Amino acid sequence: MTVETIDVALGDRSYKITLGANILDTIGELCQSLGLSGTVAVVSNSTVAPLYYDRVRVSLQAAGFRPLLIELPDGESYKNSATLNLIYDGLIEGGLDRGSFLIALGGGVIGDMAGYAAATYLRGIPFVQVPTTLLSQVDSSVGGKTGINHERGKNLIGAFYQPKAVLIDVATLDTLPEREYLSGLGEIIKYGAVLDGEFFTFLEENAGPLLDRDKAALIRAVACSCAIKARVVSEDEREGGVRAVLNYGHTLGHAVETLTGYGAFLHGEAVAIGMIQAARISREFGFCNDDDCARIEALVTRLGLPRQLPVYPADSYLEVLSHDKKVRQSGLLFICNAGIGHYKMERVRDIGALLRVCGIQ
């Protein structure tokens, strides 16, 4: 299979996404081509490091780098300041200086935390994303959002800090647990639902191959998702406008994650639930019809993702949504699908009305 490259055009912060199957062993050559040198801290976790660190280490050493491993505990519940300090500890103990760099080897939690550490250690050193989960390959590894969670909300602390490159090997998905793999498919649906109707149709027609982890179908799905996100990020790096469309399904999805303690639902599962509710809200606003809602719910169901909001009082949802990053004095910016493949953005002052549409009283 061929290797694809996708440009993320951001002026002097531009970089390439390199995508293929069985290309993990090229990480050393890639870093060399970027002009990086010296010591590299590979930030990973206790699940991914035993699977892939040795291959990364051998490739880096062959290219003349001095790799060291910073291994963190695995899970969204560790995406916090205490775990972030473990990265800083490793960087300081390893003697990394401004001529060093980081590699984030793992899923979205690793990518977000390693990226934030890179953005803030010595006021900024380079880093490279090597995402090993489907969710991180199509979302968090691209676009430069880094950060950690706070007990009052998800991703409230962070920075925009672009990687030097992204290397995506879809073969790493072979070892991904089924539930985490399906979670990534939930994030992929988003791109088709609000930004590319033809891609949404591709997902409907190729649900079977994607569920079977067919490499050709995966490369197409990941490449399309990354290309869409790269285009949006190039237009709006810091989410001042159009980039907010990427939050489709995330408003209620983040609320679900926060209320359930970042453990009961994986991110893509929560987003899938949020997309179904967002479609219903979009229909209430007159932006889509019953058939559009049915297609979104059918694809979510076909790909084995949850559909129902967990039961919490309306006041609990209101409290969490009031801390959403998209809330301003003019109200909550809510992302709607306009049919399939297009979007609308609405400022909503009465959040309770949104919840009532979702059946939350």
What is the spatial distance between Cα 134 and Cα 173, in angstroms, rounded to a whole number? 7
pLDDT in tens, the chain (361 residues): 589 999 999 999 999 999 999 999 999 999 999 999 999 999 999 999 999 999 999 999 999 999 999 999 998 889 999 999 999 999 999 999 999 999 999 999 999 999 999 999 999 999 999 999 999 999 999 999 999 998 877 788 999 999 999 999 999 999 999 999 999 999 999 999 999 999 999 999 999 999 999 999 999 999 999 999 999 999 999 888 899 999 999 999 999 998 998 779 998 999 999 999 999 999 999 999 999 999 999 999 999 999 999 999 999 999 988 877 667 667 899 999 999 999 999 999 888 898 999 998 7
**Pick from 221, 214, 193: which is nearest to 300 by CA?**
193
Active site residue 16: no
Q: Choosing from 164, 220, 229, 295, which is the catalytic residue?
A: 229
What is the spatial distance between Cα 328 and Cα 348, in angstroms, rounded to a whole number? 10
The answer to whether 180 is a known ligand-binding residue is: no
The answer to whether 154 is a known ligand-binding residue is: yes
Active site residue 239: yes
| pTM, to two decimals | 0.92
What is the spatial distance between Cα 70 and Cα 89, in angstroms, rounded to a whole number? 9
Place of tokens 């609320």: 255
CATH number of 4-175: 3.40.50.1970
Q: Choosing from 57, 145, 220, 295, which is the catalytic residue?
A: 145
Q: Choosing from 164, 190, 250, 326, which is the catalytic residue?
A: 250
For the chain, where do the domains classified as CATH 1.20.1090.10 start and end?
178-357
For the chain, where do the domains classified as CATH 3.40.50.1970 start and end?
4-175
Residues linked to residue 165 through DSSP beta bridges, in sequence order: 128
The answer to whether 77 is a known ligand-binding residue is: yes
Could you tell me the fold of the domain covering 178-357? Dehydroquinate synthase-like, alpha domain (1.20.1090)
Q: Choosing from 187, 237, 257, 269, which is the catalytic residue?
A: 187
Active site residue 257: no
Report the sign of the C-alpha dihedral through residues 74, 188, 232, 290, in that order.
negative
**Pick from 143, 170, 183: which is nearest to 304 by CA?**
183
Active site residue 123: yes
What is the spatial distance between Cα 93 and Cα 128, in angstroms, rounded to a whole number? 21
360 alpha-carbon distance from chain centroid: 27
Cβ burial 8-19 (10 Å sphere, 16+ → b, else e): beeeeeebbbbb
